[in-house]
């Protein structure tokens, strides 16, 4: 049943008419639980609250299905605005973004041009930028652009997904860049030809790449809500005397907040992935797909209004 629900929500996440309709109705129907607001001003206030509790943030201006250069330029403008806001308010926050929102599906050249605009602003304000990973079709292109930009900028990282067969090979190829990587299980529906479909296999590969990246001496962001993976990471860093400034945990805004604070209190760096913007629908559907139990929270939120 859980797999059926996952596939259903992933199917909905790619529905363009639903995406456009969702923009008209704002953050209703439970989405506000996972999205900090529609404007950068709202996001800034949400970041301040988390920073006051000792939690750091990575801010993501949501956007999908870019159809033309103008839309990509507008998305870039919003990301630059977010970077300026982080710097001007002296927030403990990074920036995350998707290359499709920068125009990747139009051309790699457009995406690179827009990324350089953002990274130039990020250098000015000392803000780190992470390129989110998308589906398998765009994985290779994303890593190619990351490698190109990493040769030009220091303040950039990307994401590696444990459920892809190609992941270990990608990790080996990236190691020469001493990359700052966010390691995740993966949230897209992929063919069994390119990705593990069994949870135990995904978890095994996740543990493998966490160990691989940490022991290579690279900065590692372990992005998970899985207690077993968190415990594994803690034991690993203790066993190998890995310094606290070489890794962090990351979790999504609105999910397992008590655990986020618990890890912070234990002395671990805890970063909250905080999305904002009007184009929240696809992101929201993937959060429901990742953890169908979130549907209960959403239903409760709707009924209580």
Contact 164, 195 (CB under 8 A): yes
Q: Kindly provide the residue ranges of all beta strands, DSSP E only, lying in 148-281, ordered along the sequence.
A: 156-161, 181-184, 220-223, 247-252, 270-276
Encoding tokens for residue 201? 């296999």
Kindly name the residue from 6, 60, 105, 132 that is annotated as catalytic. 132
Kindly name the residue from 60, 135, 170, 182 that is annotated as catalytic. 182
Could you tell me if residue 90 is left (phi over 0), alpha (psi between -120 and 50 degrees) or otherwise beta? left
Nearest to 171 by CA among 156, 186, 160, 187: 160
* Cα pseudo-dihedral 161, 224, 283, 71, rounded to 10: -60
Q: Kindly provide the residue ranges of all beta strands, DSSP E only, lying in the chain, ordered along the sequence.
A: 56-61, 93-97, 129-131, 156-161, 181-184, 220-223, 247-252, 270-276
Helix, strand, or coil here: 160? strand
Q: Long-range contacts for 77-82 (Cβ within 8 Å, ≥24 apart)? A: 78/40, 78/277, 79/118, 80/117, 80/118, 80/121, 81/40, 82/40, 82/43
DSSP state at residue 96: E
Residues of the chain by 3-state class (helix, strand, coil), percent to 5: 55, 15, 30
DSSP state at residue 195: B
Is 132 noted as a catalytic residue in this protein?
Answer: yes
Is 67 noted as a catalytic residue in this protein?
Answer: no
* Cα Rg of the chain (Å, integer): 18
Residue 129's beta-bridge partner residues? 95, 156
Encoding tokens for residue 280? 């929240």
Catalytic (active-site) positions: 132, 182
């Amino acid at each position: 049943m859980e797999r059926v629900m996952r596939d259903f929500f992933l199917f909905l996440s790619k529905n363009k008419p639903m995406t456009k309709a969702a923009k008209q109705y704002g953050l209703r129907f439970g989405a506000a639980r996972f999205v900090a607001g529609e404007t950068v001003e709202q996001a800034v206030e949400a970041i301040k609250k988390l920073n006051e509790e000792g939690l750091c943030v990575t801010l993501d201006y949501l956007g999908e299905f870019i159809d033309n250069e103008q839309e990509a330029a507008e998305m870039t403008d919003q990301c630059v605005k977010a970077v300026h806001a982080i710097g001007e308010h002296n927030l403990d926050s990074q920036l995350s973004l998707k290359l499709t929102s920068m125009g990747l599906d139009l051309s790699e050249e457009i995406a690179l041009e827009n990324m350089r605009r953002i990274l130039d602003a990020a250098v000015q304000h000392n803000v780190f930028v992470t390129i989110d990973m998308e589906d398998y079709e765009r994985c290779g292109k994303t890593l190619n652009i990351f490698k190109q930009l990493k040769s030009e900028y220091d303040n950039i990282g990307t994401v590696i997904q444990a459920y892809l067969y190609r992941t270990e090979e990608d990790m080996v190829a990236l190691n020469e860049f001493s990359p700052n990587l966010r390691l995740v299980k993966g949230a897209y529906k992929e063919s069994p030809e390119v990705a593990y479909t069994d949870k135990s296999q995904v978890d095994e590969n996740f543990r493998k790449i966490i160990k691989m990246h940490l022991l290579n001496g690279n900065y590692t962001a372990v992005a998970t809500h899985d207690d077993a993976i968190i415990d594994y990471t803690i034991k690993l860093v203790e066993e190998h005397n890995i310094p606290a400034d070489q890794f962090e945990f990351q979790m999504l805004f609105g999910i397992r907040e008590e655990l986020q604070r618990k890890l912070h209190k234990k002395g671990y760096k805890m970063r909250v992935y905080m999305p904002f913007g009007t184009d929240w629908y696809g992101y929201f559907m993937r959060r429901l797909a990742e953890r169908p139990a979130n549907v209960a929270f959403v239903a409760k939120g709707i009924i209580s209004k």
